[in-house]
Chains A and B, each alone.
Chain A
Amino acid sequence: MRTDHEIDYDAEKVGKKEMLIRLLCSPLYYDEQTRQVNIDAFDLRMLGKRPETYVSIGRKSELETEEKFKKFIEKGYRIWNTKKKDKYYGYGEFQHDKALSISNKIEVNPLKDEDKSHIGLFYIKDDKEYYTGPLPKNDPEILEMLYELAKMLSDRVTKIAAD
Chain B
Amino acid sequence: MTMLKANTGQNFYVRFENTKENLALLAYLQTLRNKNFVVFNSPAEVSESEKEHIRLNAQIEKISKLKAGWDGNVAQKANKKSIKQAEQLIAMLSENVLRYCALFPSNDSSIYLQGNFPKGGFVIYLNGETFSYVFKNENFKESAAGVELNEKNIKKIENTISKKML
Contacts and interface: CB of A to CB of B under 8 A. Distances in A.
B71 A28 contact: yes
A36 B70 CA distance: 18
A154 interface: yes
A142 to B, nearest CB: 9
Interface stretch (B3-11, B18-26, B40-48, B108-116): B108-116
A87 interface: yes
Contact of B73 (A33, A34, A47, A134): A47
Interface centre among B55, B74, B133, B146 (most CB of A within 10 A): B74
Contact of B107 (A34, A40, A80, A150): A40
A25 B55 CA distance: 23
Contacts of A148: 136
B145 A34 contact: no
Interface stretch (B29-37, B84-92, B119-127, B155-163): B119-127
Contacts of B154: none
Interface centre among A47, A79, A134, A154 (most CB of B within 10 A): A134
Nearest to B75: A45
A151 interface: yes
B104 interface: yes
Name the interface size band of chain A. Answer: 35 or more
B14 interface: no
Given A28-B105, A40-B107, A139 B145 contact: yes
Contacts of A31: 102, 104, 114
A146 interface: yes
A47 B110 CA distance: 17
A144 B115 CA distance: 13
B46 to A, nearest CB: 16
A61 interface: no
Given A43-B107, A137-B125, A140-B145, 19 more contacts: A26-B71, A28-B63, A28-B104, A33-B102, A34-B100, A36-B102, A40-B107, A45-B74, A45-B107, A84-B72, A88-B72, A137-B132, A138-B127, A140-B133, A144-B141, A144-B143, A147-B122, A147-B136, A148-B136
Interface in A19-44: 25-26, 28-29, 31, 33-36, 38-40, 43
A73 interface: no
Given A143-B123, A154-B116, A45 B73 contact: yes
B101 interface: yes
A158 interface: no
Interface string A65-106: 000000000000001110010011000000000000000000
B27 interface: no
Contact of B125 (A34, A79, A88, A143): A143
B134 interface: yes
B73 A138 contact: no
B121 A137 contact: no
